[in-house]
Amino acid sequence: MTYYGRWTYKFEEAARMGAAAAIIIHETEPAAYGWNVVQSSWTGEQSDLVRSDGGASTALMEGWITLDKAKEVFAKAGLDIDKMRAAANKPGFKAVPMTGLKASGAITQTITRRKSRNVAGVIKGAEHPDEHYLFTAHWDHLGKDPKAPAGTDGIHNGAVDNGTGVATILEIAEKLAHDPKPKRSVTFLSVTLEESGLLGSAYFAEHPFIPLNKIVAGTNVDALQPFGPAKDMVAIGSGAQEQEDLLKALLAKGKRTLSPDPKPEKGGFFRSDHISLAKKGVPMLDLGTGTDLVAGGKAAGQKLSDDYTEHRYHQVSDEFDPKWDWSGVVQDATVMAELATEVANSDKWPGWYKTSEFKTIRDASLKGGK
């Protein structure tokens, strides 16, 4: 999956094409999460950036439908959903009317304008303070769930997603603040409204307080798992940029490896805040917990990861557990700090590989763009 398969793009494209409504058919396998995540994430109050047209350019109604319900709807229109999707996957496909059906809907809507904040801190560089290494993580989550299971407080604490990410970049900031001052600046940006469609990072990308062509490179930290130490570290969307080469060398010193994205078909690289900057050309890593655990290997790592996705991801059950093993998170945070220090103390501008779709944008930016 690429960005073009993401729910955000589908709604954006529906609006650009003038659709009155857009309904996404949810499937667990390609989405990488179940229908329960759709319900918890996009039921109730939603947020968006203030738009100059007040939202008039968006589709009037946006929503989701389960695959089973979609099959039922298609069948009532005399259509086979599998055959239709196969046809739609070929060039030249034309939309087919769903005859005999009528859809209606009503929205009772109250609009409230609120202020939310991205929070930034900077360790100013000693020699090139205008050049920055950037860390990002998101501090938001989904608020309170009025339909939460009985016996819970209903609060989406987001302890893993993304309390671990914010805690990690704060710890890295504290360490680097006490180290000898780097040659380049290191900036730590905790953004808002990631869960609402990467809104905080999108705002920063459009209104940066640092020129984007002065951000040398960066790392995004989203949901590190407290599973204990791992023999590896994972680069989501791997095989895209030169920072991976630097990271591999640092991991090798600790007899660890950099594993490729274990599920590239899920389009994980297009799901978190770094993509807002990557689309502007900034080389951003998205790093995750290793899959090959010291205790139990890959099988144990996959089992724990699947359990989190099924039972805690975007659920009120994503809460802090005093039994967590933080040693693996510390291990990963240490390597991230080393990577930032290496880039910040060098004259390197680690870029995208030639095969990356973001390289042309970056090259233009460094030649005098923004």
Kindly list the domain boundaries of the chain, sorted by start residue: 3-88, 119-366
Q: What is the pTM of this model?
A: 0.88
Architecture of domain 119-366: 3-Layer(aba) Sandwich (3.40)
- What are 112-151's pLDDT values in tens digits? 999 999 999 999 999 999 999 999 999 999 888 888 888 8
Nearest to 332 by CA among 244, 239, 254: 254
Nearest to 247 by CA among 339, 162, 316, 310: 339
Return the SS3 of 22.
strand
> Quick check: 260 and 238 in contact, CB under 8 A?
yes
- Sequence-ordered list of residues with C-beta below 8 angstroms from that of 285, at least 6 positions apart, any chain: 217, 218, 219, 220, 235, 241, 243, 244, 247, 274
- What are 271-282's pLDDT values in tens digits? 899 999 999 999
Q: How far apart are alpha carbons 346 and 132 in whole angstroms?
A: 12
- What are 170-202's pLDDT values in tens digits? 999 999 999 999 999 999 999 999 999 899 999
> Which two structure tokens, joined as six digits, stand for 36?
């329960």
> Quick check: 314 and 161 in contact, CB under 8 A?
yes
